[in-house]
Every structure is written in structure tokens, then in C-alpha cells.
């Protein structure tokens, strides 16, 4: 665990430092309730104002507008959440990388594994796959054939990469993710459903993070593409031939149907559903629970859905909703009169 002075920590995260105790030693970071006099905390949500006023932390990272409510030293930033991210990285315990191939790993002789890679227990690597320097593949992963994995990529346990997938450098793939499974391609016939072969693959850019149990389907003809710097939360479904632009972030339980194009620097909240064959342009924010059924061609924030209410009121409003079309026609008749 690192020990830093408050002054050094403030300099590292780029905060203005409001304290007379520059040499105070800090050994960790905790929430407002839990932080001790040797730890720092952060404050971004005014719902926690009471906790801020009662904190025992040595210092708190916060915005200028909140400094007056802070009873301890303040680390003042316009973006305190970014400051928190930088500070937390200082106290993260990171094990030094050690190149290693566990004897239980099954590796096809044609695979090209860097001598600087780490392959843990019970990993399976199929033919003609290439793994670059400082890649860490954790226990139980299945890596198909003709795959490329770029340098410094970390793959957590029990990830499955289907044949032909390309992974960039500095990628993090969390446990249970499946990349390159068949897209949901079916043609109907008089005898039932006929499976459409999925002949494309998946391309993952650099600096991408993919959450636990997230699935990214391979393309039907072309590839499914995840751009550089994309951040995907847990349990997201990305269908075949979807394109996601650079630095877009998507929260948990989102479903994106096939052949949809999501622009760069978008922010998509949890449990959003996005229909297939549409486009979302750059710099769009979609709030949680929204259903997107048509293209979004202008940057901005978009929402749908009905806010929570008690069941009696919801039922009355739902019944009225069915009458809206008739009410509109009557209103138009009155306006004409």
C-alpha cells in the first residue's frame, strides 16, 4: 500500500489544495462514511451532503461549489469524479506481471505465443492464434483458432473467444464474456427456421473494456466492430454487424439489435433497448430504460418510458393513454369550430 502526503496526492490528481497540513500522510481512499483520518474520500452527489458534513476523512475531493460544506481539508477540482479515479489508481494493489505457461494449458503447436505472455491453468488455445507481449489469459479461457490478441490485454477467467476474433491492445475482458458467437440469423420456411451461416467475425479496438457475461455476436457477412476506448458494462448483448464508435460507454443490461450503428462518445444508460438497422450519431446520451426504435440523427440527450408511480395511478393513466387518439381527433374538431 502506498503512503503519500496530501500535497503529493493533490499534485498527482491536479487538484487545488486547501489545507495547512501539506505533509499529512495518506494511505488509502474510502467512502465518506468509512474514511479515517489517514484516508481521503470524494463527493460528487449532493444526496450525500449529510455524510460530507460528518466525514472523518483526512481530505475530500470535491467541486468548488461544495467546499463550504466540507469540514476537513478539500482537494478542489472541476471534475471530482475524475480526481477520484486518479486517486484510487494510486492505491490499487497490482501484482507484477510474470510470463508463464501453466502445464495444464492446451496450446496448438501452430499458435504463436509471445515468450512474454502469461497463460494460466486449463486454458485452451486453438491453431494459428497469435498472442502478443504481456497478454494475460486467466484460468479456464477458451481461445479459438485464427485469433489475434494485442499486447497488454488482460482476459479474466472463463472467457470464450470464437474463431477469427481480433482483439486490440490494452483490452480488458471480464469473466464469462463470450465474443464471436453466432448472430441470431434465421430464415423462415414452410418446414420451420433455417439457420443463416454467420460468416463474419468481431473486431475489438484498443483500450476497450468488456464487462462480465457480456456477449458480442459475430457478423453475418461483415464484422461486428467495437471501436477504440469503448467501455461496456456487464451483461450487455451486442448483436451481429453492430458498429460502436470510439469512446462510447454502455451500462449494464443494454441490448442492441443487429446492424445498428452507434456513434462515437455516446453514453447509453442501463437497460436500454435499441432496435436493429438504425443509426445513432456521435455524442448522444440515452437515459436508462429507454427504448430506441428509430434512428437518432442529432446529438443530445434522449429518454423514453414512464416514471414510477403507484399502481392505482398507473392503471388509470394507462386506460387514458388508450383514449389519446380519440381525444386528439375531438380536440381538432373543436379547434376547427
Enzyme catalytic residues? 240
DSSP count for the chain of H helices, then E strands: 5, 39
User: Is the separation of the CB atoms in 117 and 72 below 8 Å?
Assistant: no
Cα–Cα dist 212/35, whole Å: 29
Q: State how far the alpha carbon of 311 is from the alpha carbons of 113, 304, 324, in Å.
A: 59, 19, 20
DSSP string, 285-327: EE-TT-EE-S-B-S-EEE--S-----HHHHHHHHHHHHTHHHH
Q: State how far the alpha carbon of 259 is from the alpha carbons of 188, 210, 277, in Å.
A: 19, 20, 5
Cα–Cα dist 7/17, whole Å: 7
Amino acid at each position: 500500500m502506498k503512503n503519500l502526503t496530501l500535497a503529493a496526492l493533490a499534485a498527482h490528481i491536479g487538484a487545488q489544495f486547501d489545507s495547512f497540513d501539506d505533509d499529512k500522510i495518506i494511505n488509502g481512499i474510502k467512502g465518506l462514511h468509512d474514511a479515517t483520518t489517514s484516508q481521503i474520500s470524494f463527493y460528487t452527489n449532493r444526496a450525500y451532503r449529510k455524510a460530507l458534513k460528518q466525514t472523518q476523512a483526512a481530505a475530500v475531493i470535491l467541486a468548488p461549489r461544495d467546499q463550504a460544506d466540507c469540514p476537513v481539508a478539500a482537494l478542489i477540482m472541476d471534475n471530482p469524479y475524475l480526481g477520484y479515479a486518479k486517486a484510487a489508481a494510486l492505491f490499487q494493489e497490482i501484482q507484477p506481471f510474470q510470463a508463464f505457461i501453466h502445464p495444464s494449458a492446451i496450446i496448438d503447436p501452430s499458435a504463436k505465443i509471445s515468450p512474454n505472455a502469461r497463460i494460466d491453468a486449463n486454458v485452451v488455445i486453438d491453431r494459428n492464434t497469435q498472442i502478443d507481449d504481456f497478454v494475460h489469459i486467466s484460468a479456464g479461457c477458451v481461445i479459438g483458432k485464427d485469433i489475434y490478441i494485442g499486447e497488454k490485454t488482460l482476459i479474466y477467467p472463463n472467457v470464450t473467444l470464437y474463431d477469427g476474433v481480433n482483439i486490440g491492445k490494452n483490452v480488458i475482458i471480464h469473466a464469462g464474456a463470450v465474443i464471436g458467437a453466432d448472430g441470431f440469423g434465421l430464415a423462415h420456411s414452410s418446414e420451420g427456421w433455417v439457420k443463416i451461416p454467420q460468416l463474419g467475425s468481431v473486431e475489438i479496438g484498443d483500450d476497450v473494456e468488456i464487462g462480465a457475461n457480456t456477449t458480442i455476436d459475430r457478423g453475418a457477412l461483415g464484422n461486428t466492430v467495437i471501436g477504440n476506448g469503448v467501455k461496456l458494462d456487464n451483461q450487455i448483448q451486442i448483436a451481429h454487424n453492430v458498429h460502436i464508435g470510439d469512446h462510447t460507454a454502455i451500462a449494464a443490461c443494454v441490448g442492441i439489435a443487429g446492424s445498428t450503428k452507434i456513434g462515437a462518445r455516446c453514453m447509453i444508460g442501463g437497460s436500454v433497448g435499441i432496435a436493429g438497422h438504425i443509426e445513432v450519431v456521435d455524442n448522444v446520451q440515452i437515459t436508462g430504460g429507454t427504448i430506441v426504435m428509430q434512428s437518432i440523427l442529432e446529438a443530445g440527450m434522449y429518454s423514453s418510458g414512464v416514471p414510477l408511480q403507484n399502481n392505482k395511478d398507473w392503471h388509470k393513466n394507462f386506460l387514458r393513454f388508450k383514449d389519446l387518439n380519440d381525444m386528439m381527433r375531438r380536440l381538432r374538431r373543436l379547434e376547427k369550430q
